[in-house]
A and B are shown apart, each in its own frame.
Chain A
Amino acid sequence: MDQRGQARLDEFLGALLFAGMILALYMAFLQAPREKTMGDLQRIFYFHVSSGITGLTAFAVNFAASVMYLVRRNRWWDHVALSSAELGVMFLSIVLVTGPIWAKPVWFVWWTWSPRLTSSLVLWMLYVAYLLVRNYVLDPDRRALVSAVFGIVAFVDAPIVWFSIRWWRDIHPAPMLETGGLSPSMRPAFYTCWAVFQILFIYLLRRRFFLEASRQEVEWLQRRADMVS
């Protein structure tokens, strides 16, 4: 796609995102029914779970891009890997901040070391570590290789983390999607929020990708300019 096509797509995605976000807020706050026991507090759920799923999607994208980089050795995949890891950390930060805010009035504690909370926190730390690794390797080729290796290690680690602490007492509500326990009247709102977060992810991923691509191009130009002068 040429540059104008990309800009067009960006505009389209931006407009879609804007409309979608308003719709998502409407669905989460007004359309969805009031939950019986938790009341309006349950409305945190729609954005909390949507960003959780989006964060996991981002880490899966990071894993795929890391593998592809090792196979193809194309910088394009490294940009995707970096962008998705950063976004995954951002979305998981939303999960980790909204979680305690929901937990305080419902469980009467901010934090509890239940498997789901602990694994989310560890997952967040794994990808912060990934970003740290990237930060401290100076050579671009080496950075891409090493971080691809770390990205693969982190993604393989995630399920093992989950299984190794799963026997701890879990008071987190079971994922409604696995158990099918989400009331049908809440489903439209949830699916809308989920879809809007996926659009948000794609929009931000593209933006972060082009930022990284131009950053590397500018770095290359700088080296050229240094040679000239």
Chain B
Amino acid sequence: MEKINPMNYLFAAYVAIWIILALYLYSIHSREQSLREEVRRLRDLLEKKSRQ
């Protein structure tokens, strides 16, 4: 069996940790973003209503 450098596993483990954290942060961020858009939409809607 080919001997794989154990350092590769160490590297892979930490890369995996950062990827999971980054994915989670991204998912929070994108949910926040879509909420902000929704708030903007609602505000526009209300302004339009009040002008009528």
Q: A211-B32, A218-B39, A221-B42 are in contact. Are A93 and B20 (CB under 8 A)?
A: yes
Contact flags (1/0) for B9-35 with A, using CB distance below 8 Å? 110111011001100100010011001
Residue of A47, A101, A222, A228 near B12 (CB, 8 A) is A101
Give complex CA distance A204, B27 in Å.
Answer: 12
Q: A41-B6, A101-B12 are in contact. Are A225 and B28 (CB under 8 A)?
A: no
Give complex CA distance A94, B10 in Å.
Answer: 14
B13 adjacent to A101 (CB under 8 Å): yes
A94 adjacent to B16 (CB under 8 Å): yes
Count residues on chain A whose CB falls below 8 Å from chain B CBs: 30
A211 adjacent to B13 (CB under 8 Å): no
Residues of B within 8 A of A211 (CB): 28, 31-32, 35
B49 adjacent to A228 (CB under 8 Å): yes
Say if the beta carbon of A208 comes within 8 Å of chain B: yes
Closest-by-CB residue of A relative to B31 is: A211
A127 CB to nearest B CB, Å: 14
Residues of B within 8 A of A13 (CB): none
Residues of A within 8 A of B7 (CB): 40
Which B residues lie at the A interface, using CB under 8 A? 4, 6-7, 9-10, 12-14, 16-17, 20-21, 24, 28, 31-32, 35, 38-39, 42, 45-46, 49
**Can you list 18 A-B pairs with a CB-CB distance of less than 8 A?**
A41-B9, A44-B9, A44-B14, A90-B20, A94-B20, A97-B20, A101-B9, A101-B16, A102-B13, A105-B4, A105-B9, A211-B32, A215-B31, A218-B38, A218-B42, A222-B42, A225-B42, A229-B49
